[in-house]
Amino acid sequence: MKLAYDQAIKSESNGEVPVGAIYLHDNQIIAESGNVTISNHDPSGHAEIMVLRKASEIRKNHRIGGTLVVTLEPCVMCMGAMIQARIETLIFGAFDPRSGAAGSAFDLSNSPKLNHKINVIGGVMENECKDLIQGFFQSKR
């Protein structure tokens, strides 16, 4: 989580919402990124999506499995992409009660209507991740 947190800090320094993610396969870091929605003018530029794109390209497969570590509970878009990528485990920091799709507002990780389940571990470095994102939005108000 510390490495994902470092990516979130980098995102914040670039004027982005501070969310960071890393992708691991066989305990090796394959890809890492932070949010780039603002700088890339891309609503899909979430850290998770960027990491999945990089990892899929590196692994030469759209079904990459593995573990995704992210500082904020993923949204519906990101969970959908993780399901398509067949991510096996999701580890996240701060819960997102408004739009989190790994159990807070929605639970796409374990939906009986979907063809893939994701093992979810939430609340890792929760306070640090929560303070980072809350501090970012407070500074904007």
Q: Which two tokens stand for residue 36?
A: 């780039």
Check: CB of residue 73 under 8 Å from CB of residue 103. Answer: yes
Residue 120 tokens, joined: 């979810």
133 Cβ partners below 8 Å, 6+ apart? 8, 17, 18, 19, 71, 72, 94
- Closest to 16 in 3D by CA, of 35, 41, 32: 35
Instruction: Name the pairing type of β-strands 67-72 and 20-25.
Output: antiparallel
Report which of 86, 57, 51 is spatially closest to residue 69, judged by C-alpha positions.
Answer: 51
Indicate which residues carry an active-site annotation: 48
What are φ and ψ of residue 15, in 5° steps? 80, 10
